[in-house]
Structure 1
Amino acid sequence: MGRKIFVGTSIVLTLMMIAAIFFSLPYYVSKPGKAKKLAPIIQVENREEGKGSFMLTTVRMGRANIYSYMESKLFDYVELYPLEEILHETETQEDYNARQLHMMAGSKLNAIEVAYKKAGYPVEYKYKGVYVVQVMPDMPAEGKLLSGDRIIKVDGKRFNSSEGFIEYVAKKHAGNTLELTIKRNDKTKIVQISVQPFKGDPKKVGIGISLVDDKDIIVDPKVTVKTDEIGGPSAGLMFSLEIYDQLMEEDFTRGYKIAGTGTIDSEGTVGPIGGIDQKIVAADKAGAEIFFAPNEKGSKDSNYNLAVKTAREIDSKIKIVPVDVMDDAIKYLDKLPMK
């Protein structure tokens, strides 16, 4: 009898442990990810990588279960976030993933444009439409459009940018109907959506979506950026540095392991990101010697200051370098002696 009770108890405990893995809590948990060399991810045609390496840094984020919740309470640099801080209202995990991938796509385009222009190469764009990044709740587009939909035409008209789309819709009156030609899962369909005033600004009308441009960048030599499994815009700065390094004859790595983070816009301005303390931990584990961090114009609570604080806490020897624009990083690298 005792053996049966023991076996039965063991089975119950095993099932409970398995259930704890798959039972999701209303939180997201993030932790240090990895520092990845960019040369295998980015390749400019007929160019070679430098002696050192540029690295992007990542944060691992996912829905919390009982184990990851406990981990956030027990270990440093493991952060817990309420569900509503990560997912927008009515947004699903699939919507969130699509939003992250579209932000990454925009980040790649900006990085390519900035790097090629800095290196003195011409840049052109081929516009294909606009992508839906997010659908707002209680607005006309809800239930008719999804994150990831490509809007090809509006009332039979094509637009070269999301700004053109927004300007066209803004001229409509509440109650007017738009005919949108969209592409979803490689299938084209037409949807009718009326416009209505925004709750926060009744003088403006719209259908309740946020957009990004769907466009291809045309450069020579060609560049390939493989980011199938990476989302978000935070690798923009490091993308631009790797591309620029490959375009130029000079080796800007100088033989060092160089990590960093920060968004980048088409003008080369570097923006702040989340989880920089976790990225410092990841860079330190990967043996990075230099880390570029968004300076936010010297703000007291800047990414740069948090990065310096984290490096000190973990007793890291990484040199943290503040950057506001891509040129700040290039000027720093110009002064580095060859290792």
Structure 2
Amino acid sequence: MKKKRYIGMTAMIALLLAFATFFHLPYYVTMPGTAEPLRPLVEVKDGYKEKGQFMLTTVRMGQANLFSFAFAHVSKYNELYRMDEVRQEGESDEEYTHRQLKMMENSKETAIAVAYKKANKSFSYRNKGVYVLYVVDGMPAANVLKSGDQIVAVDGQRINEADEFIQYVGQKKKGERVRVTYKRSGKEKTATLTLAPFPKEKHRVGLGLSVMTDRDIVTDPPVRIESDQIGGPSAGLMFTLEVYNQLVPQDLTKGYRIAGTGTINIDGEVGSIGGISQKVIAAHKAGADIFFAPNERGAKHSNYKEAVKTAKDIGTKMKIVPVDTLDDAIQFLQKLS
């Protein structure tokens, strides 16, 4: 009798543990990730060597289960976000992943362009069309197009840039139709869609698409960046520094382990990111000496100020450096002894 009761209780506990593990809540949980050397991921052909390291910092993120949800409430640097704070309206998990990976591709492309421009090396673009990032539920495109489709033409006019598509559709009115030609898995298809108001913005009409230009950058010398399944644009600054350092004779690292984060735009300006505290922790655990943080032009609640606060809280000796531009980071490194 006791044995049966023991077996029943054990089975019940196992079921509860399985439920707590596999039942997902409508939240995402983030936590400190890793800080990885960039040199194995970035290679300029015949590029210069470096004594130190530039490091890419990441944040771990996943949909919360009961365990991670509870732990996030007692862990200072684990954070919870509602799904609608992470995903766009009507965006599926698959579409979110596609969007993050495409944003990373765009970030790498911009980083290469900025680095080559700074090093006075030649580069050019080769457009491949317009890429669908995600579609909005309830809108005309929702049951036709999906993340990953490539838009080739609209009403017979070839489309090479996302801005061209946005401008053309933006001139249309509610009820007007457009013929969208697109490619999926190598096959070309055409669909006629009728413009409609957005569910939460009745004054705006459209097809319900988020798009970006899909293009390759051609450089001399050639460069390769492998980012595997890392998503988002926050590694832009560090990719730029690594590429630039391989293009110029002077080694900016000077033997230091240099981590950091921040988006980069084509003008070399560094933008803010999410998860700055978690990235500081990841860099500290990896033994970084220096951490670049977006300064946001001295904003009251900038990434830099939060990074300084976190660094003090965890007792790291890592130096937190504010940057607004690529030049800020380069000038700091040039002054290192």
Alignment of 1:245-264 (within 5 A): 245-264=245-264
Unaligned runs of 5+ in 2: none
Matches of 1:160 and 1:83, distance apart in 2: 33
Distance 1:138 1:296 in 2: 37
Write the letter of the residue equivalent to 2:43.
Q
Distance in structure 2 (CA, Å) of the matches to 1:118 and 1:189: 42
Residue in structure 2 matched with residue 326 of structure 1 by the alignment: 326
Letter of the 1:130 partner, please give it: V
What is the deviation of 1:186?
A: 3.2
- Runs (4 or more) in structure 1 with deviation over 6 Å come to none
* Offset, 1:227: 1.2
Q: Residues 48 and 11 (structure 1 numbering): CA distance in 2 closer, same or farther, change over 3 Å?
A: farther
Partner Cα separation in structure 1 for residue 233 and residue 270 of structure 2: 11
Tell me if 1:108 matches 2:117: no
CA–CA separation in structure 2 for the residues paired with 1:44 and 1:308: 33
Q: Aligned equivalents of 2:116 and 2:254: distance in 1?
A: 20
CA distance in structure 1 between the aligned counterparts of 2:292 and 2:202, rounded to whole angstroms? 39
Cα RMSD after superposing both structures: 1.5
Aligned counterparts of 2:14 and 2:148: Cα–Cα separation in 1? 40
State the partner residue of 1:222. Answer: 222
What secondary structure does 2:24 align onto? coil
Post-superposition offset of 1:161: 1.3
Q: Which moved more, 1:29-38 or 1:141-150?
A: 141-150
1:7 offset after TM fit, Å?
Answer: 1.8
Q: Deviations over 1:102-138 (max 9, x none)?
A: 1111111110100000000122111111111122233
Partner of 1:317: 317
Classify the secondary structure of the residue corresponding to 2:100.
helix
What is the CA distance between 1:205 and its match in structure 2? 4.2
- 2:297: which partner in 1? 297
- Aligned-partner Cα distance in 2 for 1:90–1:200: 14
Matching residue of 2:234: 234
- TM-score scaled by structure 2? 0.96
Q: How far 1:200 moved relative to its partner?
A: 3.6
Aligned counterpart, 1:19: 19
Counterpart of 1:219 in 2: which secondary structure?
Answer: strand
Residue correspondences, number: 336
TM-score relative to the length of structure 1: 0.95
TM superposition shift of 1:197: 4.8
Partner in structure 2 of residue 40 of structure 1: 40
Q: Is 1:8 aligned to 2:8, yes or no?
A: yes
Tell me the distance in 2 between the aligned counterparts of 1:34 and 1:65: 22
**Aligned residue for 2:119?**
119
Q: Structure 1: which 5+ residue stretches go unaligned?
A: none
Structure 1 Cα separation of the partners of residues 202 and 331 of structure 2: 44
SS of equivalent residue, structure 1 residue 123? strand
Query: Post-superposition shift, 1:196?
Result: 3.4
- Paired residues of 1:273 and 1:303 also in contact (CA < 8 A): yes
What residue number does 1:65 align with? 65
% identical equivalent positions: 52
Matched AA of 1:78: N
Letter in 2 for 1:73: H
